[in-house]
Structures are given as C-alpha cells and as structure tokens.
Chains A and B, each alone.
Chain A
Amino acid sequence: MIEVNKLTKRYGPVPAIEDVSFSVRAETTGNIVGFLGPNGAGKSTTIRILTCFQPATGGSATVAGYNVFTQSMDVRRNIGYLPESAPLYPEMRCREYLTFRGKLHGMARGDRERAIRRVTERCWLGEFIDRPISQLSKGMRQRVGLADALLHNPKVIFLDEPTIGLDPTQIRETRRLIKELGEDHVVFLSSHILHEVEQICTHTIFIAGGKILASGAPADLRQEISAGSRLIAEIKGEPQAVESAVKAIPGVSAIECETSDAWNRLTIEANGTGDIREDVFKLVSAKGWSLREIRREVASLEDFFIKITAEQRGARV
C-alpha cells in the first residue's frame, strides 16, 4: 500500500528527513501503522510528501500503487489526510464543509449525502453538524477533520497526531474508531505517544532526526529492546562474595550492589537473549545463601524511545 524508497527532504542545507525507506503492506504489517518519533523527527514532513502536498528532494514513494510524484492525482483520489492542526475554514458550517470536500472529490449528490451521513455517524458529528466551524472546540474540529479524511472512503488514511488536544474520553473513542477503520482501510498515523501506538498499531516505524531507526510489530520491538535485559535480585550473604560470584555467571556484563541489613540488592545487566535467573538461583542455593526477590525488568518501548531520543541529542551536540 505504501512503499517508500530513500526519501530525502531538505529545507535549506539541513535535511528534515534523509534516506527514509519503509514499506506498508497489509500482509506483513497489518493495516494500522504507527509512525513514531520525537518532536522534529520528520513525521509531518514524511506524511506531507506521501500525501502529495510537498515534493521530496530525492527518493521515490508509491501510495496505493501510484507514484507520489508522477501520478499525484491518482494518489490523491485514494487517500484521506488529517493534518496535524486539523485546519478547516472557520466561516463554513460542518455540513457545508463536508459537502465542499465531497464535491472536490467528484462525488455525485446522492453519494455525497450518503457519505456525509456515514461520517457524521462514525465521527459523532451529529450534535454540531449544522453549526459554524468557528464555534467548535478543538476536539470537535479534530473530528470534523477526521470525517473529511474518511468522506470519500479512501484506501489509505494518513492521520498526523490524530489524538492531540483531545480529552481522555475522546482519545479512547478516537482510538476505537481508528481500530475500526483498520478493518477496511490502511491507516498510517503519526504519534509521539508510545502506549497509543502499542495499543492500536499492528506495526511501528520509529523515526528520529530524520532517519528510520527501527520498525516492526510493537511486540517484536519490545523483544528486540529487552534483549539486553536487567535483573533485580536480593540475596543475603557476604557482599563481596555475592557480588564476585554473580559477576562470574556467563552473560553478566555489569553489576551494582547495595547492601542494607545483610541483604544485598543487586542490579544485574545481562547481555544476550538468554534468561540468567535460573543460574542466579542455582548459584544461591549451591552457596547456601538466601534469596528473597528475583525479577527481570523488561524494557518498554518507552525506554527505547527515551534512549533513542537521548542518543540523537548526543549525536547532534
């Protein structure tokens, strides 16, 4: 559905995105793809290129089977787009706006009215469909923008931070709507909210500093991140002996020890994918020490995100 190949966009000399490549196919990635990255990562820039708003400086991309640069009109007919700020014409009424948008998409009167009824219901516009847009709250506008993106039943829907500025109830409702949309549309949404992406997306693409850093199913990513895992263990014994014995376990890369009331609280960094909890337990029982806690901390996407962001910042300085 979306194929992106070495896409680069420069504003002046500094690239906003550089050599961005990824692909979204229903079979391999599922229908809901999260495009995750910190502020200024290049999410909006990438989406603007894929929606044919801006041409790229280099590289190529196809959306719904059409080339973004050479078949722009075909791409546009097959996509819906909700920009970050959900821009609308304040002087128009909701219904009038949706009618205008429907006409731009070449929908005949009957189709258009049916489509407006459908999106009104889906995006809960009922209570304000005949009110001027200038009188609507931010959340209501966001929903009007979303309704517009769905109006012509496009194959691919691009949503740039769709839940930003919404209250918790509406965030939940919007996420549910996006999940529903995933049943018969491809949804490409950008976000910097991790648990949102974990919750609703079938595939995640991380971007930071204009480069793709990782991609995969949220669960796989977590697996990948937790490869180097961390173990917390509390062992009673002579601190030096405990520390050196645990350090000798294969796979342990670093260890920290805090002692209080004869209990040693060890923070063990292990590399590799293996689980060393069993080794620790065997060691403790062989030595005749006592063990009161052993726990493996699995890194969350949050950790990964923070790590990546910190690395990016480090690289830039």
Chain B
Amino acid sequence: MRNVTVLTQRELNAQFYSPIAYVVLAVFLVVSGIIFGSANFRPGAESSVRVLFSLVPMTLVFFVPLLTMRLLADEFRSGTIETLMTAPINDAEVILGKFFGALLFYMVMLAATLVYPIFIAAYGQLDTGMAVSSYLGMFLVGALFISVGLFFSTCTQNQVVAGVCSIVLLAVFTFLGDYLAANQEGTLRVLLQHLSINTHYENFTRGMVELSGVTFFATTTILFLFLAVKMLEFRRWR
C-alpha cells in the first residue's frame, strides 16, 4: 500500500507538470462554463445545474482519455517501465498507483466546477441533495473512464493509439448504448440498457443514488483495473 501512495504522489505531480493536463483542465472548464451559461442565462430559463450535470459525462468521454493515455504507454515508450518494475513494487500496485494519481487529478477538475452550484446557491435555489448525488455520479463515471483509459494505456506504447481506443470504447457505451438498446427487443434490450453508462448516470442527476448504479460503476471500474493488471503482466511475459 505504501508503494501505491508513493506512485500516486508521483503521478499527480506528473499531471501537474504536463501541459496536456492543463489544457484539458482549461478546456473542460470552458466547455462546462458554456453548457452552464447557455442553460441558465436565457430569458425565462430556470436557474439550475441540472443540464450541466447531465451533459458533463459526454464531455468526459473526450477529456478523461487525454489524461490517462500517457499513464503506462509513456513508461513503455521511454523505458522507465524497466526501472519502475525492477523496484520492489508489483503489477497491481503500479496500476493502482497510476489509477489514484489520475483520479485525484480528476477530482481537482470536478472541484473546479463547484463554482456553478455555488453560483446557483447564491443567486437562486440549489437542490443540495441533487447536487451531491450528481457529484457522486460524476465521480463514479470519472473513475470508470479512468480505469478504461488506463487499461488501453497498458496495451500499447503509443499514447495516441491508447487515447483513441479509449475514446471509441467510452463513446460506444455512453452515446450508442441507449440508441442500440432502443432498437432491440427482450433480454438483449435489457442487457444493453444495463450496460449503458447514461442509464445509470441519469438517476444520479435526478438526485437518486441507487445501489444498482453504484455497483455498476464500481464493478466495471474494478474489472478494467483487473484487466489492466493482467495486460501489464502479459506484456512483460512476451
């Protein structure tokens, strides 16, 4: 566990040194600002963070892979993986260290969006319960996206390939999930709905924290972390 903390710390620092992370942070804030502004500053619009919260995961499909694509791909490319993995640290600790490093940076990103609910609270009526459950939802979605991005970053030494693969997979589950489910019948439909990230996330934006949603995000996150560990092992076996 100590190793995980050490690596997490290094990863978080590395994010803060990386220009890409700042660009992501800045663009994310601009985009969320635009979403928030266009939803609230129209005549007759009710002031709410609801629209913002329901659209944020869509933008994360693009932003999170930009943060995660570097994680292992770069270690493989530059060869630092050799010094890292000949220190007394095992594969699972490496993956977890990287995961928590990216997750902490993501939480910084989320924290920056707190200005919007605070703004609403100051000038209107903030549904605190809904805001809290939305943030929980965004946290869970982010964790899942990071684990997917991390998995793809373990697969290749090319950051761009890792990034594109993660975006594609996340886009399929976020945008296409609902669409595909709508065109299916019976069990397949139920299954697709259950796999759709939006279905689970929407409940959080309505202020409902459902066990099934939390389990969905937690298990898929753990699944991808597990796959990342296996992939890391496999790559060293070759």
Contacts and interface: CB of A to CB of B under 8 A. Distances in A.
Interface in B102-129: none
A8 to B, nearest CB: 14
B88 A89 contact: no
B222 interface: no
B86 A105 contact: no
B89 A81 contact: no
Interface string A54-81: 1100000000000000000100110101
A76 B88 contact: yes
A54 to B, nearest CB: 6
Contact of B236 (A55, A83, A96, A103): A55
Contacts of B18: 91
Contacts of A96: 13
22 contacts: A52-B85, A53-B236, A54-B236, A54-B237, A55-B236, A76-B88, A79-B86, A87-B79, A87-B83, A88-B80, A88-B83, A89-B78, A91-B14, A91-B17, A92-B10, A103-B6, A104-B6, A104-B87, A105-B87, A105-B88, A106-B2, A148-B83
A73 B82 contact: no
Contacts of A51: 82, 86
Contact of A106 (B78, B82, B88, B236): B88
Q: How large is the interface on A (under 10, 10 to 19, 20 to 34, 35 or more residues)?
A: 20 to 34
B82 A87 contact: yes
A48 interface: yes
A148 B86 CA distance: 12
Contact of A104 (B13, B88, B237): B88
Interface in A14-55: 48, 51-55
A291 B88 CA distance: 67
Contacts of B17: 91-92
Contact of A77 (B14, B79, B85, B88): B88
Interface residues of B, number: 24
A53 B85 contact: yes
B2 A100 contact: no
Contacts of A73: 88, 90
A87 B78 contact: yes
B238 interface: yes
Contact of A76 (B82, B86, B236): B86
A90 B84 CA distance: 14
B80 A89 contact: yes
Given A73-B90, A91-B18, A104-B88, A11 B238 contact: yes
B3 interface: yes
Interface in B218-238: 236-238
A68 to B, nearest CB: 11
A101 B7 CA distance: 10
A253 interface: no
A105 B6 CA distance: 10
Nearest to B18: A91
Contacts of A88: 80, 83
Nearest to A81: B86
Q: Which 3 A-B pairs give the minimum distances between C-beta atoms?
A: A87-B79, A91-B17, A76-B88
A65 to B, nearest CB: 16
